[in-house]
Amino acid sequence: MKIQRARIAWNRLFSLRRGMSKRIRPAAIVAAMVTTLMAAPVVAAQLPARVPGLWQSTTTVTGPDGQALPHAMDVVTVSCVDALDDQKFFTSGESACSSLKISGSGGHYSIAGTCSDAGRELKIHETLVYVDAKNMRLKAVYGTKSGPMTVTSALQWQGACLPGMRPGDEGNISGGVFNKTDNINDTANQ
């Protein structure tokens, strides 16, 4: 139950860019998150490619008071990343954003823009630090009515995607078994 509540909080934050405020998405999102950009064009830099395979994300969501949301601390999710879907995990295809601008170089990048959630405009700012091709950190700040929400994630490559996983799959591992919660390529995510 604790993990499910954290995923719901995480999913509400990241689903806004897909216009899916009622749909639940896993945190790896984080993780995991990046590929073909569909709505408005991305300006400037492209994000570096991550090593394809299974990526694990450990995520914490904090509220406007700077405190972790209930059941939203150190939530672990996984994503199956390939070259075609890598950037979708971070830009969500921009489907609910009027524009996202990527800037940066080397190992430090920023994604900023304005997105819509249930008819409300929200400002977003993400910072991505590529430690190397198998490790990265993400910090995302979303302006909300009650103040900024912050999502921080550490993402690590784990190896090949698990048997039965398809590129874009997201979920968690319980008892050594992958539990799919979403796929970045599902029509509802476009």
Higher pLDDT, 166 or 116: 166
Position 182 in a domain: no
The 10 Å Cβ neighbour count of residue 119 is 6
Say yes or no to pLDDT of 15 above 60.
no
Position 17 in a domain: yes
Residues 6 or more apart in contact with residue 185 via CB below 8 angstroms: 85, 88, 167, 168
Position 174 in a domain: no
Residues of the domain holding 94: 2-161
Position 79 in a domain: yes
- Residue 142's pLDDT band (cuts 50, 70, 90): confident
Position 96 in a domain: yes
Nearest-angstrom CA–CA distance, 21 and 7: 13
Position 83 in a domain: yes
| Pairing between β-strand 43-44 and β-strand 97-105 as defined by DSSP bridges | parallel
Using one digit for the tens of pLDDT, what is the confidence trace for 64-116? 999 999 989 999 999 999 988 888 888 765 556 777 889 999 999 999 988 77
Position 169 in a domain: no
Position 178 in a domain: no
Higher pLDDT, 44 or 188: 188
Instruction: Report pTM.
Output: 0.75
Q: What is the domain count for the chain?
A: 1
